[in-house]
Amino acid sequence: MSAPFIFIGTHTVKPGKLEAFQKYFSDFCDNVVEPNEPRLLSFQAYADPESNQVTIVQIHPDAESMVSHMSVIAQHVDVAYADYLERESRWQIYGTAEAGVLEKIQTLAGDSVAPRSHEPFAGFTRW
């Protein structure tokens, strides 16, 4: 079964930095992600101002697209955590984890716990 690779990251924004992060991330989407990742199907950011959290939802056609994405964003992840985000994050990963994608996510996140992916078993996709 061919299913998309979906990555959802939820992050706590440093106190007083939500508006600045939203501006930074909007520019990042427009100037880095969209022009450099033609295979990425959807890349959306959502904010919950009451909890000071943001969630980034990515839909890739496959794990290889996610690996490519991580190469594109590597330096920007460091900036985001240094300037805007608290280090603790939560990940939800759905799809077949090929191409060493989980190991790359773990390395980029600086996490000691290996992320896990939920494997697809039924469904369909319309594009």
For residue range 42-94, what is the model confidence (pLDDT) as tens digits?
Answer: 999 999 999 999 999 999 999 999 999 999 998 898 899 999 999 888 889 99
Across the range 11-17, mean pLDDT stands at: 96
Higher model confidence: residue 54 or residue 116? 54
How long is the chain?
127
Q: What domains lie within the chain, and their CATH numbers?
A: 5-109 (3.30.70.100)
Predicted confidence at residue 2, as pLDDT, reads: 80
Unique residue bearing structure tokens 């440093």? 14
Q: Compute the distance between CA of residue 45 and CA of residue 25 in angstroms, rounded to an integer.
A: 8
Across the range 35-45, mean pLDDT stands at: 97
Residue 112 in this model has a pLDDT that exceeds 70: no
Q: Compute the distance between CA of residue 114 and CA of residue 45 in angstroms, rounded to an integer.
A: 24
Across the range 12-18, mean pLDDT stands at: 97
* Mean pLDDT score of the chain: 91
φ/ψ of residue 76, rounded to 5: -75, -30
pLDDT bin (cut points 50, 70, 90) of residue 107 is confident
Across the range 18-40, mean pLDDT stands at: 97
